[in-house]
Structure 1
């Protein structure tokens, strides 16, 4: 048995999760499930607020840390660097999450993430301490990447294991609601700073405010998470003693035994994150550089479109519980492939056209985004779920996701073609379509057990009813 659990006694706050007398399983009530969803979503919002603030503050980061001809490229390279560290975080936090529990690791990752972002707001600029300023910025971005390597996979796993099987799509979509809320809040705060303080003050000192806000946001997320027991699925795994074997499982064994879901998930993540970071992180730089729009105008477009995406995402999650995850992904990938070029051409024609083009692509992306938390955790059995998710997701994201803004900027510079982001998204969608074809339908599948869950046709019918 696991050293952290004594037979016959509650494990990790087990007293908060009642046991069904008929099945013997731990089944949280609706209030506990809602609290778990809120804690996961707010923590995720904090994470992506940190990334979103950096994305919409590239112009200020460039001025204060990377002045010069290649400043924008260096600022985007620093953005990409944190993603290269994420796989190390996944390798470190993932196995720990399968051994020690989801809740404990999530408490550590949110502290590291919010703390690093807060410290960015305190950094002296290159004018004050010279080259030490960008070096410190890069180090703090590395801390962000390392902590995020465990945060996202853990939050998605935690939420999915709390959610009832037939509502996992709907409840899981709130994790991505938090993602968009983080991005949108970052855009809104920087926009308000532009309006209230003005561009000069924002460039001089106002850019620090959004980064400093990450501190109290992280404390709120930590407080909510600390009040919850670990997921019922993990508690049952711990009681069975399987956490010991997962702790000793080497990366080689994970790849050898579960290479197929890892490979399929890699294809899905390539499509997901190329679109995500091209659309949500690179768009401010793209619109300012390629269309000549003012920073304030771009921030307005970003906030309005992201807010619209937030409103739609729970409905997309609920729809996936009825029709399945695969139809949602097919719709998104095919729609993005067909409309990427027309929408990017549309965005070159001014504010309203840019808003329309961005909104269309954003809404087409929603069917993917809304189903991550329901789809990816169900691809792995409980004892390797955190590790399998975190390692696979972060490796693919490091290579193809976080590098997307830098790759788009470099390719536009090399070719002079402003449609490069559209082509980049289309190529990723092709990879995603191949992966979806190979993916098993996971709607309605139980996340309990030590084997990979598989949904049979009759399960899909029951989930729809």
Structure 2
């Protein structure tokens, strides 16, 4: 890895293309949840109760998470043996094509039960793709930029992933402003998926201009690729790093899924917020999260991963408690302000990549990050929405307790990280 202190042109180009690709992949993956209610109505029989139709829709969303480890482990295996760049391009192809297909899928009224089955199959392929994308991007960028800029670069990259969510939110907002509710149900819901698929294929072309990382080139030149299966080495020699990485990913999952992705459904269905206002609030919160990611990345290079995570986790707990309790009895101005503050604090997730990179050595870094991130995301990400949906039956702000527990775990995990990995 270069020990220069500034990002050169090649570093900036790599970071830009990586962030753009990650943003579009996240856009493709998350627009499903923005149209979860419509999908539940169109892809399942109307004899199902709204609760069970939505639960089935979330179940298909969860299926994408459950297959992330498969894609992540397989892609990381070949990424550690054959190079980061090839797998970086494959991941976006596997995301773009299913997204495009979803935009043209017949619904239940046309295909019956084959409609949700096909939808499930597309989500599985998307899960495999996203399982390779995020660890590949973190590894690829970290091995290109100077050592002293790894935190800042990964903060920018994670902000790029949040940009994908923002694009999805803005697209949903535009659709709600341009089309009537009946038009959205009839055909306009397909527009975001078709656009995402086309943009993904364009990004695939742009990624052909990326170069292999200097770190992998050095490993290859010295013939230091692992002769063992990389994931075998990870599990035999880096169990502690895997556990820490999984717990950090749990925090990342909560901040993305609960505080951003699922928020529109909570605000509209439970608290009666207007659809347009809801997506405006969500878009503003995502912008704040992106700013938070960059600030956190900058701070990580100077203060260390553990300090940043501990401060950020406490801030998330404070503002989550204030925001959710105000939903029940607060005025709109304070609710919006608190949501923006919570969005900024959730940018603490911009530290996760830097911590993961630090814990795993270069020859098995891709596999180590991928296994920790994807297994955790599959388990936690897969059960989070159904669990929060179930909690909401007992308490309208049940999601708050989930976030409080998640942030508390992240705080103590950062303390362990500081003792074992911060200064190795």
TM-score by length of 2: 0.93
Residues 289 and 345 in structure 2, CA contact (< 8 A), matched pair in contact too:
no
- 268-277 or 73-82: bigger deviation: 268-277
Secondary structure (helix, strand or coil) at the match of 2:104 reads coil
Aligned residue number for residue 403 of structure 2: 425
- The alpha carbon displacement at 1:80 in A equals 1.1
| CA distance, structure 1, for counterparts of residue 253 and residue 59 of structure 2 | 17
Q: Cα 1:277–1:93, aligned 2, differ >3 Å: closer, same or farther?
A: same
| CA distance, structure 1, for counterparts of residue 54 and residue 371 of structure 2 | 30
- Of residues 2, 16, 28 in structure 2, which corresponds to 1:50? 28
| CA distance, structure 2, for counterparts of residue 219 and residue 260 of structure 1 | 38
- The alpha carbon displacement at 1:423 in A equals 0.5
- Of residues 217, 240, 250 in structure 2, which corresponds to 1:235? 217
Aligned residue number for residue 293 of structure 2: 313
Residues 343 and 360 in structure 1, CA contact (< 8 A), matched pair in contact too:
no
- Size of the aligned set, in residue pairs, is 419
Structure 1 residues 316-362: Cα deviation after superposition (integer angstroms, max 9, x where no partner): 32122111211110011112223322210113346434322321221
1:455 aligns with 2:420: no
TM-score by length of 1: 0.85
- Of residues 166, 187, 190 in structure 2, which corresponds to 1:208? 190
| CA distance, structure 1, for counterparts of residue 331 and residue 53 of structure 2 | 26
| CA distance, structure 2, for counterparts of residue 146 and residue 380 of structure 1 | 22
Aligned residue number for residue 14 of structure 2: 36
| CA distance, structure 1, for counterparts of residue 170 and residue 57 of structure 2 | 21
Structure 1 residues 360-410: Cα deviation after superposition (integer angstroms, max 9, x where no partner): 22111112x222332212210011111111111111111112421221001
| CA distance, structure 1, for counterparts of residue 6 and residue 83 of structure 2 | 17
- Of residues 346, 355, 365 in structure 2, which corresponds to 1:365? 346
- 344-353 or 229-238: bigger deviation: 344-353
Gaps of 5+ in 2: none
- The alpha carbon displacement at 1:252 in A equals 4.1
1:179 aligns with 2:161: yes
1:401 aligns with 2:369: no
- The alpha carbon displacement at 1:267 in A equals 1.5
| CA distance, structure 2, for counterparts of residue 376 and residue 29 of structure 1 | 21
Structure 2 matches for 1:255-334, cutoff 5 A? 255-334=235-314
- Larger-Rg structure: 1
Residues 252 and 352 in structure 2, CA contact (< 8 A), matched pair in contact too:
no
Gaps of 5+ in 1: 1-18, 443-452, 457-465
- 183-192 or 332-341: bigger deviation: 332-341
Q: Cα 1:27–1:421, aligned 2, differ >3 Å: closer, same or farther?
A: closer
Aligned residue number for residue 97 of structure 2: 115
| CA distance, structure 1, for counterparts of residue 341 and residue 33 of structure 2 | 21
- Of residues 312, 337, 357 in structure 2, which corresponds to 1:356? 337
Residues 259 and 343 in structure 2, CA contact (< 8 A), matched pair in contact too:
yes
| CA distance, structure 2, for counterparts of residue 77 and residue 65 of structure 1 | 13
| CA distance, structure 2, for counterparts of residue 360 and residue 441 of structure 1 | 30
1:221 aligns with 2:206: no
- Of residues 360, 368, 374 in structure 2, which corresponds to 1:380? 360
